[in-house]
Amino acid sequence: MEKMNQIVISALPFQEFSCVLDGQNCVIRLRQVAEYLFCDLMVEGVQIFAGRRCCVGTDINCYPTPLFSGRLFFVDTLGNSDPQYEGLNSRWILIYEEAGNAVTTAGN
């Protein structure tokens, strides 16, 4: 059974919210700057990343860290375009996938 969960977000150009992801107390901030959506993540009060550009299908946390398990990524329900705030939670869905189910790729 896959352990993927949709994180309910609003269609707003700036938002910050708290959520618990697999037992991790998280604060996620999303902001639209020009045509790009950016994300910040704090876990247990520790900054994991800031200003990461959100690209559809790509793990927002591109550098593994023991401070956050799992992956966050956007899915485009109508194609393969990067997220825009107007379609958040309708066209673009934010997904959290628990670490045990995350697909990893080997480096060259």
**pLDDT per position as a tens digit, 29-60:** 999 999 999 999 999 999 999 999 999 999 99
Residues 74 and 86: beta-carbon distance below 8 Å = no
For residues 43 and 21, give the distance between their C-alpha atoms in angstroms, rounded to a whole number: 10
Instruction: Compute the distance between CA of residue 48 and CA of residue 98 in angstroms, rounded to an integer.
Output: 16
CA-based nearest residue to 6, from 63, 86, 72: 72
**What would the mean pLDDT of 77-97 be, rounded to a whole number?**
98
Cα–Cα nearest to 41, from 65, 58, 76: 65
Least confident of 16-20, 78-82, 99-103: 99-103
pLDDT of 100 > 80? The answer is no
Cβ-contact 77, 93 below 8 angstroms: yes
Two tokens at 43?
Answer: 């876990």
- The pLDDT, as a whole number, for residue 3 is 85
- Chain-centroid distance, C-alpha 71: 7
**Residue 106 has what pLDDT?**
40
On whether the pTM is more than 0.85, the answer is yes
Asked if 62 and 73 touch (Cβ cutoff 8 Å), the reply is: no
